Amino acid sequence: MNEAQEKLVERLTEKYKSIDQDVNIHMDGLVWAKQMTYWDYIQTEALLGLQIQRTTLPDEMVFIMYHQINELLFKMILWEMDQVAHTENIVAPKFTKHLDRISRYFDMLSNSFTIMGDGMDIDQYMKFRNTLTPASGFQSAQYRLIEFGSTELINLIDYRFRATIDRNTPYEHAYEHLYWQAAGKDHATGKKNPLLQNFENKYKHFFLGKMEEYNTINLYTKFKSLPEKEKTNKDLINAMRHYDHTVNIGWVMNHYNAAAKYLDSGPKKAEATGGSDWHKYMHPKYQRRIFFPSLWSEEELKNWGVDNLEGYKKL
Ligand code: HEM
């Protein structure tokens, strides 16, 4: 054994000793370990076995796969977000680094939405969509986690109810007034449609836990509690603005345009599979979801989703 090998055995012995394990047994295990391959590591077979169509229409495959790509990117976004959320005394460069990664992922989703808008035959979409009712991307749990992880709950509350809600409001009450309840609730009767009912049966309990978890460590609260020197860092502020813009205007508008292409096609306009009054619900100028309101000027807030669709101004 050469010196380097001796050092390695020493380190391994230390490692296993610290967890009360016999290093010899682990080294013997290595003798029998399989060679690593790309397909085992990346789990390609499992991944490529997850695309199951409900119809015979080929473009349904485009729809399924693009949604799956979105969910993978959402997972990457949450991965970065949690690294900010769970770092105590975070400094501006690290905060900025993770935000830049998140924005890159979201930019990729916004810029690729034409895969939906231009990548499927309208007549095929109008057929296979009927087999999906009452499901909708609205029921993406990861998308909701991204929202809870990004901002304070008040910024996710429907504008009509904001005055009735503050930091002492129970989570259950806040939950019932989140902006997205509007897509699934009849406001006259309060009755929830199947889109929302099914979503809640599966995730409501989980969401209440996450709302509480992120209450003190979401990106906006983390940013606001930074020391003055970090909070005024220009790169960080621009990264926050980029992220807010790319999610709440860029992605939302690209999504809206793709949806309009199908749902507004033909002489009789189609209803959303989830059943919402989607034109009003999805447009940023009505929805006005803003994660970091204090980082925008009054003028920018006033024109949110109206004339700033192209980009955001760097400070
Ligand atoms: C042709 C493609 C698409 C159409 C026609 C479409 C349509 C819609 C409609 C009408 C809604 C409103 C809720 C409802 O009543 O269903 C919605 C919500 C939503 N969709 Fe899509 N969508 C499409 C693609 C996607 C993709 C690829 C994703 C990625 C995961 C996605 C994610 C979402 C999310 C997260 C919401 C909730 C947004 C919010 O609450 O503001 N959609 N979609």
236 lines ligand 1 (CB under 6 A): no
- Asked whether the beta carbons of 104 and 34 are under 8 A apart, the reply is no
CATH (residue range 60-302):
1.20.58
272 lines ligand 1 (CB under 6 A): yes
**H or E element that contains 175:** helix 171-176
Measured in Å, residue 136 CA sits from the centre of ligand 1 at 6
Residue closest by Cα to atom 4 of ligand 1: 259
Residue closest by Cα to atom 3 of ligand 1: 259
Distances (CA, A) of 67 to 43, 61, 87, 116, 249: 19, 10, 31, 9, 19
**H or E element that contains 103:** helix 92-111
φ, ψ (nearest 5 deg) of residue 84: -75, -50
Residue closest by Cα to atom 33 of ligand 1: 137
- Beta-carbon count within 10 A of 179 CB: 19
Measured in Å, residue 23 CA sits from the centre of ligand 1 at 52
258 lines ligand 1 (CB under 6 A): yes
- Asked whether the beta carbons of 51 and 64 are under 8 A apart, the reply is yes
Residue 213 has pLDDT above 70, yes or no: yes
Give pLDDT tens digits for 157-197. Answer: 999 999 988 888 999 999 999 999 999 988 788 899 999 99
pLDDT at 309: 59
* Long-range Cβ contacts of 95-100 (<8 Å, 24+ apart): 95/222, 95/223, 95/226, 95/230, 95/236, 95/239, 96/233, 96/235, 96/236, 96/239, 99/219, 99/236, 99/239, 99/240, 99/242, 99/243, 100/239, 100/242
pLDDT at 188: 81
153 lines ligand 1 (CB under 6 A): no
Average pLDDT over residues 5-11: 97
- Asked whether the beta carbons of 138 and 180 are under 8 A apart, the reply is yes
pLDDT at 280: 83
In whole numbers, what is the pLDDT of the chain averaged over residues? Answer: 94
Average pLDDT over residues 56-62: 98
Give pLDDT tens digits for 111-168. Answer: 999 999 999 999 999 999 999 999 999 999 999 999 999 999 999 999 999 998 888 8
Tell me which of 106, 136, 140 to substitute to probe ligand 1's pocket, judged by most ligand atoms within 8 Å of the beta carbon: 136
Tell me which of 255, 279, 285 to substitute to probe ligand 1's pocket, judged by most ligand atoms within 8 Å of the beta carbon: 255
**Residue 84 binned pLDDT confidence (cut-offs 50, 70, 90):** very high
- Beta-carbon count within 10 A of 131 CB: 13
Look up the pTM and report it: 0.94
Measured in Å, residue 138 CA sits from the centre of ligand 1 at 5
**Residue 311 binned pLDDT confidence (cut-offs 50, 70, 90):** low
143 lines ligand 1 (CB under 6 A): yes
Residue 102 has pLDDT above 90, yes or no: yes
116 lines ligand 1 (CB under 6 A): yes
Measured in Å, residue 129 CA sits from the centre of ligand 1 at 12
- Asked whether the beta carbons of 123 and 168 are under 8 A apart, the reply is no
Average pLDDT over residues 245-265: 94
- Asked whether the beta carbons of 61 and 51 are under 8 A apart, the reply is yes
Taking Cα atoms as reference points, which of 49, 194, 209 lies closest to residue 133? 194
Average pLDDT over residues 46-74: 98
- Asked whether the beta carbons of 194 and 134 are under 8 A apart, the reply is yes
276 lines ligand 1 (CB under 6 A): yes
Average pLDDT over residues 209-218: 97
CA of 143, closest atom in ligand 1? 35
Per-domain residue ranges of the chain: 3-33, 60-302
pLDDT at 291: 98
Measured in Å, residue 41 CA sits from the centre of ligand 1 at 32
161 lines ligand 1 (CB under 6 A): no
**Residue 315 binned pLDDT confidence (cut-offs 50, 70, 90):** confident
DSSP 140-152: -HHHHHHHHHHS-
Residue 53 has pLDDT above 80, yes or no: yes
In whole angstroms, what is the distance from residue 228 CA to residue 172 CA? 34
Burial of 233 (0-12, 13-18, 19+ CB in 10 A): middle
